[in-house]
Structure 1
Amino acid sequence: MIAHRMQVHSALVLILFLLLAVNAHAADHEIAAQGQPALEGYSPVSYFEQGQPERGSRNFQSTFQGNLYWFTSAEQKKRFDAAPSAYAPTFPRSCPYNLAQGRLETVDPTSFKIVDGQLLLFHSSPEQDGRQKWEDSIVNTEITEKELLRRAKSNIINLKF
């Protein structure tokens, strides 16, 4: 009787796991079907390999953590797919400087910096340059980049998009 219950329990756990996996996969395909790339279509791999943003192509795309990314080539897509967390931006939708301050601001994918292997994208508008504010904070307040990142990561949990 106990062995039968354990088999039923194991089967239910397996079914639940498979349902979650299918839902996650379906969500990624839904994003891909919408065709709206993160980073305004810039390739996350290019920031690291070229040192600058380059527009990707819808012909080379992948999804990661609910975001659709475009790449400049099949080779870039292959590298991304092998290690997506190494290339994807830490905060794909909000400026890390503003997050560290407890605010949400959209990003400009042409305003970026790589810190400790993490791609950071900053807000840029006539009213505010998030990257410049980030740099000024380090110089003027002697806050380290690691501390700013810690604050941004801490605040992202509490803020909603």
Structure 2
Amino acid sequence: MTAQRQERNQMRLRIALIGLLSLGLIAAASSPGVQAATTERVVADRNTGLAIDGFDPVAYFTDREPRQGQAQFEASASGVVWRFCNDDNRKFFLARPDIYGPQFGGYDPVAVARGVPLAGNARVWLISGQRLYLFDREENRDAFAASPERYLHDARERWPGLLATLSE
């Protein structure tokens, strides 16, 4: 093989590698996926740092529905930013985040019971035993509602191990 052909083949190889790397980066950047960070102890939006998509965690209890929080009523707790509808809700949450915050850091308790940290959806929720739970999908919420103690037993057993794998 001539030196000129060897150089041409090396150039083609470099171009192919650059193309493959570019495709990989484009695919990684544009892949549809959950916008919530699933390697954190509390589920938060990767872009904004907001917990539960900016919904007010106290409103689930007081208004019995998810309500979008406002930027002027924010608080930082557990490494994420929480938004509230008003200052009273903010104060209630800061006094008792263990009560008002979603259980299992906002991860779906049905998935946690299986040993999988799957981010819950702020619009698929349930209050059970005076605690807020977020679910990935309605089927998981319905299964949990039918037998909360069954799922909670397994989820509570597995949560410490899962928590250890999630970054702070």
TM-score (normalizing by structure 2): 0.63
Q: For residue 6 of structure 1, what is the aligned residue in structure 2?
A: none
Q: Separation in 1 of the partners of 2:107 and 2:99?
A: 18
Unaligned runs of 5+ in 2: 1-43
**Does residue 109 of structure 2 align to residue 96 of structure 1?**
yes
How far the C-alpha of 1:114 sits from its partner, in A, is: 0.9
Please list every run of 5 or more consecutive structure 1 residues that lacks an aligned counterpart in the other structure: 1-30, 139-144
Query: How many residues in Structure 1 have an aligned counterpart in Structure 2?
Result: 119
Q: Which residue of 2 aligns with 1:119?
A: 132
Pick from 45, 65, 73: which aligns with 1:52? 65
- Percent of paired sites with the same residue: 24
Cα shift readout 1:90-144 (whole Å, capped 9, x = no counterpart): 12341001111222211110111111111100012xxx732123235x2xxxxxx
Q: Which residues in structure 2 correspond to 1:62-141 (within 5 Å)? A: 62-124=75-137, 129-135=139-145, 138=147
Q: Is the 8 A contact 1:94 1:122 kept in 2?
A: yes
Q: For 1:151, which of 126, 130, 154 is the aligned residue?
A: 154
| 1:16-63 Cα shifts (integer Å, max 9, x gaps) | xxxxxxxxxxxxxxx9xx852100000000000000100001211112
Q: Which SS does the other structure have where 2:104 is aligned?
A: coil
The one-letter amino acid paired with 1:129 is E
Answer yes or no: is the 8 Å Cα contact 1:61–1:69 preserved in 2. yes
Q: After the TM superposition, which parts of structure 1 deviate over 4 Å for at least 4 consecutive aligned residues?
A: none
Root mean square deviation of aligned Cα? 2.1
The structure showing larger relative contact order (alpha-carbon pairs under 8 Å, at least 6 residues apart) is: 2
The 8 Å contact of residues 106 and 133 in structure 2, kept in 1 or not, is answered as no
Q: Which residue of 2 aligns with 1:14?
A: none
Q: Distance in 2 between matches of 1:133 and 1:98?
A: 11
Structure with the greater alpha carbon radius of gyration: 2
SS in 2 for 1:60: strand
Q: Is the 8 A contact 1:92 1:121 kept in 2?
A: no
